[in-house]
Amino acid sequence: MHAKFPSPEWVRELEQKLNSDEHYARTASKWEGDMLIVVEPTGNLTQRLYYYFDLWHGTCRKAANLPGPEGLKPAFILTATYDNLVKIVTGQLNPMTAMLTRKLELHGNMAVMMRNVPTVLDFVRCCTEITEEIL
Amino acid sequence: MQPILKIDLSTGLSAEFIIPPEWEQFFLGGSALAARLLYPYLTAALEPFSPEAPLLFLNGPLSGTIGPTTGRSVVCGKSPATGLWAESNVGGFWGAELRFTGYDGLWVTGRAEKPVYLWLDDGRLEIRAAAGVWGRDTYDSQSLIKAELQAAGAHVLTIGPAGEQGVLFAGLFCDHGRTAGRAGLGAVAGSKNLKAVAVRGTHKIPLARPEEYNRLRSEANHAIKADNYSEVLHALGTAGAIDYSDYLGALPKKYYHQGAFETVDKVSGSSMAETILAGSSACHGCVIACGRVVRLEDQQKRKGPEYETIVGFGPNILNDNLAAIVNLGEICDRYGMDTISASNVVGLALRLFELGLLKESDVGFQLHWGDVEAVERLLQLIGRKEGLGEWLAQGARRFAAHFGVEEEAVQVNGLEVAYHDPRGVSGMALVYATSPRGADHNQSDYFFVDWGQVEPSLGLQFFSKGAGAEKAANVARHQDWRTVSNALVICLFANQPVETVVGLVNAACGYDLDVPGLLLAGERGWNIKRAVNNRLGLTRANDRLPKALLEPLADGPVAGFVPPLAAMLEAYYAARGWDPLTGKSSRGKLVSLGLEDVAIDLWGPE
């Protein structure tokens, strides 16, 4: 249940984790909305990455790494540089700190988001728990 | 900065006061500069309602420019509620307009024979009779004065009936419902027979390096507009914080005695946005627009409540009816009362009634949690100082003391605690215990740091929200930073790096400060306010928390936890360089901050 970040395996592992983690299932039970994570190239990453997660009532209905955002209208878009995202998924950077100090950009329905901050934090916890190695 | 206009209401005379230039750079402006200016005049013997008591309205060097978030100004003096340093800042457009008159401040003393208002039109002062507006509420007073002046573009800062009658948590209101609410300075204005101050001007804001400033403020405005926090504030108002604050256990319920309230979300910023929200409003120079405009069943547009008002008249009294909160907030506004203190004292009354310490015969009717009609009646009594309202209007400390249970009042040094429970965000324990105006969330919104807003350039570290003494130096650092914000009188909601603010200050004032230099000015401001309070009798014994906040909650996310205040305070004094016995800034600290005269005043000649 561990994978290298970023990689297609990491996305698959995260999908499995989200669908098997009881704490996430409870915390995210009211979450409705898909999410696109945009990774801006910095450090070892040379091209932009797009990770898509269709999250619904504590489950992940679909996870994919995509070549681009074309055709998508995700409920939420999270954007971070590769370096900052590495810090987040390895637990070196608190996700709230990232959001509040301009290291993780967030777009979407804020009414939904602010009701569900714990879901986002638990999503990140799941990320950290499956991340074994960095590119 | 521009001169301050000194006005003696007893004589009707006025004169320009030039701010010593060395103090401008030392204290930056706003409340820190005001503390320096008022230091000799704020004595223990000074009665806050005496004619001699000063009321100083002041701006900062960025005020009135086109941002970022530069629409605030501050009013300072001696609080009738606490007997200590008082400052309360207000948004809207009034402060900017005051700067446009060619003055950066108004220093009011004396007492007019009859109610008056000041009309400062582009530097020309007129003291006008206020007989026609005395007794009128704050909304009507603004409209009536504007109608009387027939001066397009004038902005009016006014008190309401509560200020006229000496309610100890009366504030000053402008631009409809923008409020300098805390510490009772509206009552000080009322004691001077000063109903309002109307301003209008055409002067240009002085900037040392205007091109540089305009470039920097444009960049800063764009960055603030794109910031996550701004996006939440714009979409949901400050009430956007309610759900997460509740999740952390930082949202007080049932007058700080209950840890869970199932229907909190019904009064959240999210729910407001999905139900009654009709628009937003912004202050001068602000790209955030956190102000709420709501529409209730009568279809009239009204000011929507912010976080403190919602929690105070919501979970604090076990009410989950958002429309009722809007109504209760408007009643406070119209009377001219601070909603934090008003809802706190109302919550205290409900608690004392539940405990059987307050009887129906004391009140005139029954009090029960969640009964918003009874709460409305209490507010009317307070605003008119009728019946029990006479005692409620004295604030929580005096009200509880009247019934022999002062320890039940959730206040520090006479100022009612804001709605960020230190059992959920422990940094607020130190903030409330040491803030210069009592239990205050605006001298440091450290709850936000406990959320995770750990600004790297401030040199802050991240500690868990329940950490103890290890976060003391962090809190002190953040207080210094917010003292800078309050000296510049910029809005705390502008989530911007310290470097940005340094650049703006340097460009506006022609300084060459760096980040440590700016924070040193903040530390100096914090210490001068402490010294003012020491002169007024404050000692280490004043650095405390009320009983309720040092008792564990039985339920909710932080059940069983209390912040280790004693250990935190010990570490805090060490971090501050304060004398642990007296609680005063040490001689060495004061001298190192360039406050030699204050060191001699507090400690005697060496």
Domains in chain B: boundaries: 4-200, 237-416, 427-544+564-603
Q: How far is CA B77 from the centre of its chain?
A: 13
**Architecture of the CATH domain B427-544+564-603:** Orthogonal Bundle (1.10)
Instruction: Measure the N-to-C terminal CA separation of chain B; round to a whole number of Å.
Output: 34
* Element of type H or E holding B207: none
The class level of CATH for A3-134 reads alpha beta
Residues of B in contact with A111 (CB under 8 A): 235-236, 269-271, 273-274
Angstrom CA distances, B90 to A35, B69, B182, B522, B571, stand at 39, 12, 10, 20, 33
- Rounded CA-CA distance B334/A113 in Å is 34
Q: What are the residues whose beta carbons fall under 8 Å from the beta carbon of B589, sequence distance 6 or more?
A: B527, B576, B577, B578
Question: Burial, A83: exposed, middle or buried (Cβ in 10 Å; 0-12, 13-18, 19+)?
Answer: middle
Both tokens of B78, joined, read 């001696």
Chain A positions in Cβ-Cβ contact with residue B227 (cut-off 8 Å) = 102
Q: Are B39 and B524 in contact (CB under 8 A)?
A: no
Distance CA A43, CA B244 (A): 33
Mean pLDDT of B543-553: 98
Average pLDDT over all residues of chain A: 95
- For residue B549, with 0-12 CB atoms within 10 Å meaning exposed, 13-18 middle and 19 or more buried, which class applies? buried
Tell me the CATH number for domain B237-416: 1.10.569.10
Mean pLDDT across B258-279: 98
Task: Kindly determine whether residue B244 and residue A110, on different chains, have CB atoms separated by under 8 Å.
Answer: no
Is the model's pLDDT at B315 over the cut of 80? yes
Prior bond to B497 cis, omega within 30?
Answer: no
CATH superfamily entry for domain B4-200? Aldehyde ferredoxin oxidoreductase, N-terminal domain (3.60.9.10)
Output the pLDDT for position A135.
78
Contact A97 B270 (CB under 8 A): no
pLDDT recorded at residue A2:
84
**pLDDT score, position A134:** 85
Work out the average pLDDT over B177-194: 98
pLDDT tens digits for A104-123? 999 999 999 999 999 999 99
Kindly report, residue by residue over B356-371, the tens digit of the pLDDT.
999 999 999 999 999 9
Give the integer Cα–Cα distance in Å for B340 and B333: 12
Q: Dump pLDDT digits (tens) for B586-595.
A: 999 999 999 9
Instruction: Give the 3-state secondary structure of B478-489.
Output: HHHHHHHHHHHC
Residue B577 has pLDDT above 70, yes or no: yes
Query: Looking at CA atoms only, how far is residue A106 from chain B in angstroms?
Result: 6
What's phi and psi for B39, nearest 5 deg?
-45, -50
The whole-angstrom distance between A96's CA and the closest CA on chain B is 5
Phi, psi of B228 (to 5 degrees): -55, -45
Cβ-based neighbour number of residue B144 at 10 Å? 17
User: B262 exposed, middle or buried (CB, 10 Å; 0-12, 13-18, 19+)?
Assistant: exposed
The whole-angstrom separation of Cα B416 and Cα B382 is 15
- Say yes or no to pLDDT of A1 above 70: no
ipTM over 0.90: yes
Q: Which residues of A touch B467 (CB under 8 A)?
A: none
C-alpha angle with apex B32: B27 to B33, nearest 5 degrees? 60
Work out the number of other CB atoms within 10 angstroms of the CB of residue B501. 24
Closest CA to B327 of B340, B341, B339, B315: B339
Mutation pick from A93, A99, A101 vs chain B, by most beta carbons of B within 10 Å, is A101
Average pLDDT over residues A79-108: 95
Instruction: Sort A59 into a burial class: Cβ within 10 Å, 0-12 / 13-18 / 19+.
Output: middle
pTM: 0.97
Contact B156, B94 (CB under 8 A): yes
What are the tokens at B35? 């503390």
Q: What's the rounded Cα separation, in Å, for the pair B519 and B504?
A: 14
Label the pairing between strands A131-134 and A3-5: parallel
* SS3 of residue B418 by DSSP: coil
Cβ neighbours of B203 (radius 10 Å): 14
Q: Hey, are the CB atoms on B454 and A97 less than 8 Å from each other? A: yes
**Of B317, B455, B345, nearest in space to B408 by CA:** B345
Residues in B touching A115 (Cβ below 8 Å):
243, 265, 268, 270
| Residue B252 pLDDT | 98
Q: How many CB pairs under 8 A join A and B?
A: 70
Enter the tokens of residue B325.
């909160």
Q: What is the mean pLDDT of residues B602-606?
A: 94
Q: H or E segment at B223?
A: helix B210-226
Buried b / exposed e along A43-57 (16+ C-beta atoms within 10 A): eebeeebbbbbbbee
Provide the token pair at B272: 């407001």
What value does the mean pLDDT take over residues B294-315? Answer: 97
pLDDT tops 70 at residue B465: yes
Say what the pLDDT of residue B458 is: 93
Residue B566's Cβ-count burial label (10 Å; 0-12, 13-18, 19+) is: exposed
Q: Three-state DSSP class for B303?
A: strand
When pLDDT is averaged across residues B555-559 and rounded to a whole number, the result is: 98
When pLDDT is averaged across residues B559-580 and rounded to a whole number, the result is 97
CA B582, CA A47: separation in Å to the nearest integer?
Answer: 60
DSSP state for residue B95 in the 8-state scheme:
H
Q: At what angle do helices B515-535 and B596-603 cross, to 10 degrees?
A: 30
CA distance B456 to chain A (A): 8
Interface contact A104-B228, CB threshold 8 A: yes
Q: Where are the domains of chain A?
A: 3-134
Instruction: Please indicate whether residue B455 or residue B71 has the higher confidence score (pLDDT).
Output: B71
Residues of A with Cβ-Cβ distance to B243 under 8 angstroms: 114-115, 117
What's the distance, CA B62 to chain centroid?
19
